[in-house]
Amino acid sequence: MVKKKEFFRKEHIPELIMALKGRKEIPMKFEYIGKSGAENWDKLVQSKHYGVGLKELNLIKNNMNTITNSFENKKFNLIDLGPGNGIKTIPFIEEFGKTHNLVNLAILDISEEMANLAVKNIKKKIKKNLKIKRYTIDFEEGNFAKITKELKKEDYPNNFLVLLGNTVGNQFDRYRVLLNIRGSMGLSDYLLIGLEMRREKDYEKIVKHYHVKEVYDTITTNLGKLGIDKNKGKIEIIYNKKKNQVEGKFVLAEDIIIKIEKEKFKFKRGDKILLMISYKATISDLRNLLAETGYKMIKYFVDKEKSYALVLCQPIPL
């Protein structure tokens, strides 16, 4: 039986049921919810196999000046959309601290436990001149203009939002997420997105990175919450060339029944349940994605291997 508390909000149950019924998927965003979700993510980020995090952190540190140069002495609230363990939020707070007497940080996350972990790590490092607000929201559900507007009224007049760690590439519908963020921004605001890049020839290499215990533990968190024994199947990781995304699936070795509240779902041996997606883009894909969702790309930064990009963008008048 699903422990409702682990999925955190009542509204998640219908979405989970429809995802399982309609597309044999357990949306990845539910993984982060609950103590186990936050802990597994933290372990993954700290493992030596998670090179992406370090790459992004270096890109942030090396380009911080160029990123914040765009601000032209205006004052901004810092909004971290899905901070994970908060480690990548810290350099932004330090940078903002140079120009803002008080840094106003807002943390928006689907997982309360993840937000708590981020705040704990941030407070260990930053001891003064920092105000933190936390909000539990799902970026897929709708815009969160109520929060962003309130921040502008109560704190500084502009918002700088960060969406790091390939979070946008992990969503079932990245268009919807970007539109929801766009609907929460004014024309003077900025959004910084961190996304893994697509290198056409490296499919096998990309997929290989996912075959480690920490990734398996993270992507199977939801199976545990649903009472599915991990030993009743195996993990399959593939690169879907049509969708340009890595997909992690649970391939059943026997028939199972999943019970969620009063509903029962039968899955057969050989059925595959989608547990994870990770979209990989080129700069040109990103430019198109941003244009279609109402943004212009201001600057972008890529690492030497062209495997990761940080993209600074702003809303365009529609």
Ligand X SMILES: C[S@@+](CC[C@H](N)C(=O)[O-])C[C@H]1O[C@@H](n2cnc3c(N)ncnc32)[C@H](O)[C@@H]1O
Residues that bind ligand X (CB under 6 A): 29, 32, 45, 53, 82-84, 88, 109-111, 114, 137-140, 164-167, 170-171
| Minimum distance of ligand X from residue 140's CB (angstroms) | 5
CA separation for the pair 250, 34 (Å, rounded):
21
Closest to ligand X by CB, 10 or 266: 10
Q: Cα-Cα-Cα-Cα dihedral of 81, 189, 311, 243, to 10°?
A: 60
- For 193, phi then psi, to 5°, come to -115, 135
Amino acid in the structure at residue 5:
K
Closest to ligand X by CB, 53 or 294: 53
| Minimum distance of ligand X from residue 72's CB (angstroms) | 26
In terms of DSSP bridges, do strands 256-260 and 245-252 run parallel, antiparallel, or are they unpaired? unpaired
Closest to ligand X by CB, 9 or 287: 9
Which H or E run includes 191? strand 190-196
| Minimum distance of ligand X from residue 269's CB (angstroms) | 31
Quick check: 126 and 93 in contact, CB under 8 A? Answer: yes
CA separation for the pair 89, 118 (Å, rounded):
8
Angle, CA 121 vertex, CA 29 and CA 158 arms, to 5°: 75
Closest to ligand X by CB, 62 or 234: 62
| Minimum distance of ligand X from residue 305's CB (angstroms) | 18
CA separation for the pair 24, 129 (Å, rounded):
47
| Minimum distance of ligand X from residue 288's CB (angstroms) | 22
Closest to ligand X by CB, 165 or 233: 165
Closest to ligand X by CB, 158 or 170: 170
| Minimum distance of ligand X from residue 16's CB (angstroms) | 13
